Amino acid sequence: MTGSPRRTLLATAIALLAAVAPLTSPATAAPRAPAAADAPAALDLTASRAQWIDENTVAWDVRGDAASQELVYAHDGRLALKDGELAGKGQRIRLTPAAGGLTEAQREKYPHLKGYAAFTVDPRDRDRIRHALTGQLVATRSGADGTLLTATGVQTQGILDDLYAATATKASLGPRFRDGRPTLALWAPTAQTVSLELDGKRVAMRRDDTSGVWSVAGPRSWSGKQYRYVVKVWAPSVQKVVTNKVTDPYSTALTADSRRSIAVDLDDPKLAPKGWEQLRKPKAEPLRDAQIQELHVRDFSVEDRTARHPGQYLAFTDTASDGMKHLRELARAGTSYVHLLPAFDIGTIPERAADQAAPDCDLTAPAPDSEEQQACVAKTAAKDAYNWGYDPLHYTVPEGSYASDPEGTRRTVEFRQMVQGLNGSGLRTVMDVVYNHTVASGQADKSVLDKIVPGYYQRLMEDGTVATSTCCANTAPENAMMGKLVVDSLVTWAKEYKVDGFRFDLMGHHPKANILAVRKALDALTPKKDGVDGKKIVLYGEGWNFGEIADDARFVQATQKNMAGTGIATFSDRGRDAVRGGGPFDGDPGVQGFASGLFTDPNASKANGTPAEQKARLLHYQDLIKVALTGNLAAYTFTDSAGRRVKGSEVDYNGAPAGYAAAPGDALSYADAHDNESLYDALAFKLPADTTAAERSRMQVLAMATATLAQGPSLSQAGSDLLRSKSLDRNSYDSGDWFNALHWNCRDGNGFGRGLPPAADNKDKWAYGKPLLASPNLTPGCAEINGTSAAYQDLVRLRATEPAFSLATAGQVQSRLAFPLSGTGAETPGVITMELGDLVVVFNATPEAQRQSVGALKNRPYALHPTQAKGADPVVKSASYERSSGTFSVPARSVAVFKRG
């Protein structure tokens, strides 16, 4: 999971859930039946408990009889409750109870409303529906004596789709140009009026009653002009009719800090850097072969003294910088993609350098375990130039703070130059996209969508409040026009910016149908027609299952289990947790795993249990890693550590199936990402305190190897191959450059020992971290940093050149991949031996050399793989094979790959 200010709230919620069931990914919480104290007020216009789901039907969670039911609407928004009665001038639409409630089709479309009563709109009043939707709406029930029994606001997202979606989803929205002349179009079906504010004047816009789209055509002189829409609309969040001046949700360019949209044609040759039209891309790898580096634009270069454009898009054009040299090394080894953390318009960073705050103290002076650094960073965190960026303000404009000038179109040109720079270095570009929430909603300053069609683009709870399970204001891509915005935005990034892939934040909060619609739209892009081959664009995301939509409560979600077989990958936490140990929200961060010494090199933490408990957990972790090495295949069968023949789906992962994939490429493996502690920091907490820097380096490579050498794609946080540390910060979304910056030159260290991490998310772990930050064992030198990277690159190179790591089907994996020593007899705790076609891979996570005898391979000619035999790691070169007994000998804390001659 990823985030911004939401991170603390979301992490806290998950931690509370984990206290009940120890999950390591967002947990599924069953809906709680309201207690008597929770019963909603019968008369409350600030809530919206009735839902108008289609032209004929209102769904309402009410019980008991009433003499009459009505929808009352008022354009002036002055309906109010006074002395138990509805006051104000309004017009009425009659409702009749529908026998049997919602129809089967309606229950299937709105499963969360299946227990609601249904009311039918009187046919005589249906000609007033469109008019009614442009004002305040109240649903009422009255007794035979006229007493008002129930009154509530009305949610309208369902009927808006029913009335307008068929036409509106085909409309072209935002600025469009033809022969240099712009047309501006905005979907605002509930607005009473919409006009265009441009050049200090208001220009009337025309409404299309079929689609609900307002539009206006202008002269060529409008090109490059700043504009906003002026929208008069009923706003339930403030219970009044408001006139909002709001930017275009389909903006293609913005002024600094997103104050105004700019009418820009992205096809204008002036916005194309030299060579843009002829851009040659590196070879496209199938998703199952993707080796991905996850990278933050600012982290990449802000402290790179060799970069000419620190912290900017243009740093990726600095071909002589240390950072770009390192990326080219990774590309030559076989890394295929750079995944950029959010680079769309972000709502939490001042875009002008002059407006950005910076720590006003000497951060280098305090001790490595001091509280002073984090305190100084925290003072300016809200106004500095740093944020991960999971705070979308405008979805389809590059973030301005990464541009040399945030005003106007420099950001467009420079984003394109960044893509050119990465492509020219042999790397395709993936963009992290966040369509599951907005930075704000309602009438808040940074709300956009909800100021235009209130209550539509945001997902609403049963009472009409905005859902915040992602910690911010959730969006509703299940609604047609939010789903369209997702598709349209991604097509723009693909066509106009030549982005090669997309990673979806909290993809499980999207309907599966929405993500498949994205895939279909991208597949339709062709080099001849669009300048890009959409079929080669990769898609993957976080398929976590939690929140108000958990377990397909409102729609079939784009979760891990549901996306299997679609060709769209989901992050797999199974191998990650087994390799690292424990989970992201453990009270004691010393809980060990396969690559952090569980049982074989125990630390002092009592949370690990007795030796017998450690051994049992380690062997189960090894089963989880074996499933991960198959690509998390559900149907793959093998012998588990208890000697049972099981499928991947039958191996337990905190109560869920470990294996869920249908084919290699459905699951993405990783040992670390921007969320939670970096791999080095996790191992710092978990390995015994006296573990040397050299030994830590070897365990880092071993942990990364479990993802790199698995079937299917793998991702690594940039800098992990250089032992990247964030000084133990488990949530560095707003921790500034001090804790986040990448250090490409080993003489600058790896980021460890920069003080205790920020208190807001880490203070409860300070007692564990303080002695570590002061320990010389955890400060690696150039030998360890460069050695780790070189050994990792050997593994990436080996994976990229051996076809056995790129099996295309589950059947091929079943027939060619095996774990010959699994079971109760020959399995060694802390060692996994994998046979893969002509290869044998031994992961030895123990502190001693290990011998693995595979009788079935006796007398076959194996030798250490040439890539490792001639590679950078001197220790692994001592690995050997004894042909007469079929025994593979592997040094401590090493992964060795043997090849049959």
Taking the C-alpha atoms of residue 445 and residue 68, their distance in angstroms, rounded to an integer, is 40
* Percent of the chain residues topping a pLDDT of 70: 96
Which pair of structure tokens corresponds to residue 720?
Answer: 């992990």
What is the 8-class DSSP label of residue 557?
B
Taking the C-alpha atoms of residue 49 and residue 55, their distance in angstroms, rounded to an integer, is 18
- pLDDT tens-digit series, residues 142-163: 999 999 999 999 999 999 999 9
Mean pLDDT of the chain: 95
Strand residue runs (E) in 321-391: 337-340, 344-346
**505 in catalytic set:** yes
- pLDDT tens-digit series, residues 482-532: 999 999 999 999 999 999 999 999 999 999 999 999 999 999 999 999 999
Question: 611-629 and 693-708 are packed helices; what angle lies between their axes, rounded to 10 degrees?
Answer: 40
H or E element, residue 809:
none
What is the 8-class DSSP label of residue 438?
E
A 10 A CB-CB count for 552 gives 17
DSSP string, 730-744: S-GGGSHHHHH----
CB 752 within 8 A of CB 779: yes
Residue 22 reports pLDDT greater than 50: no
Report helix, strand or coil for 499: coil
* Catalytic residue chosen out of the listed positions 265, 318, 505, 577: 505
As a whole number, mean pLDDT of residues 724-752 equals 98
Report helix, strand or coil for 152: strand
- pLDDT tens-digit series, residues 750-806: 999 999 999 999 999 999 999 999 998 899 999 999 999 999 999 999 999 999 999
Residue 287 reports pLDDT greater than 80: yes
Residue 23 reports pLDDT greater than 90: no
pLDDT confidence tier of residue 825, bands split at 50, 70 and 90? confident
- pLDDT tens-digit series, residues 105-153: 999 999 999 999 999 999 999 999 999 999 999 999 999 999 999 999 9
As a whole number, mean pLDDT of residues 212-220 equals 98
pLDDT of residue 41: 83
Helices and strands counted in the chain (H then E): 24, 43
Outline where 774-886 has alpha helix (H).
782-801, 810-816, 866-869
Which pair of structure tokens corresponds to residue 307?
Answer: 């970069």
State phi, psi for 201 to the nearest 5 degrees. -120, 160
Beta-bridge partner residues of 137: 73
Q: At residue 721, what is the residue type?
A: D
Question: 679-686 and 573-580 are packed helices; what angle lies between their axes, rounded to 10 degrees?
Answer: 40
Outline where 664-781 has alpha helix (H).
679-686, 693-708, 736-740, 759-762, 766-773
Taking the C-alpha atoms of residue 274 and residue 277, their distance in angstroms, rounded to an integer, is 8
Tokens 């002189």 belong to residue? 221
pLDDT of residue 40: 74
Beta strands 291-295 and 714-717 are: parallel
Taking the C-alpha atoms of residue 138 and residue 136, their distance in angstroms, rounded to an integer, is 7
How much is the pTM? 0.96
Report helix, strand or coil for 853: strand
- Residue in 447, 29, 381 with CA at minimum distance from that of residue 231: 447
**677 in catalytic set:** no
As a whole number, mean pLDDT of residues 608-634 equals 98
Question: 512-523 and 480-497 are packed helices; what angle lies between their axes, rounded to 10 degrees?
Answer: 30
Q: At residue 865, what is the residue type?
A: H
CB 668 within 8 A of CB 715: yes
pLDDT of residue 39: 58
CB 105 within 8 A of CB 164: no
* Catalytic residue chosen out of the listed positions 351, 462, 542, 827: 542
- Residue 477 makes CB contacts below 8 A (sequence gap 6+) with 435, 436, 483, 486, 509, 510, 511, 514
Taking the C-alpha atoms of residue 610 and residue 599, their distance in angstroms, rounded to an integer, is 9
Three-class DSSP labels, 770-787: HHHHCCHHHCCCHHHHHH
Angstrom CA distances, 638 to 624, 628, 630, 809, stand at: 12, 13, 10, 17
Tokens 């409750």 belong to residue? 81
As a whole number, mean pLDDT of residues 816-834 equals 95
Taking the C-alpha atoms of residue 769 and residue 774, their distance in angstroms, rounded to an integer, is 9
As a whole number, mean pLDDT of residues 616-627 equals 98
pLDDT of residue 12: 38
Which pair of structure tokens corresponds to residue 743?
Answer: 């250090």
Residue 328 reports pLDDT greater than 70: yes
Taking the C-alpha atoms of residue 487 and residue 396, their distance in angstroms, rounded to an integer, is 11
pLDDT of residue 34: 36
Report helix, strand or coil for 665: coil
Beta-bridge partner residues of 203: 196
Note the residue count of the chain. 901
Task: Compute the 3-state secondary structure of the chain and give helix, strand, coil in percent, each to the nearest 5.
Answer: 35, 25, 45
Alpha-carbon torsion angle 801, 805, 744, 8, nearest 10:
160
Angstrom CA distances, 241 to 233, 238, 272, stand at: 5, 8, 43
Outline where 354-511 has alpha helix (H).
372-380, 410-424, 449-452, 480-497
- pLDDT tens-digit series, residues 3-20: 333 444 444 333 333 332
pLDDT of residue 37: 39
- pLDDT tens-digit series, residues 842-855: 999 999 999 999 99
Which pair of structure tokens corresponds to residue 360?
Answer: 């006003």
Taking the C-alpha atoms of residue 282 and residue 275, their distance in angstroms, rounded to an integer, is 15
Taking the C-alpha atoms of residue 857 and residue 833, their distance in angstroms, rounded to an integer, is 12
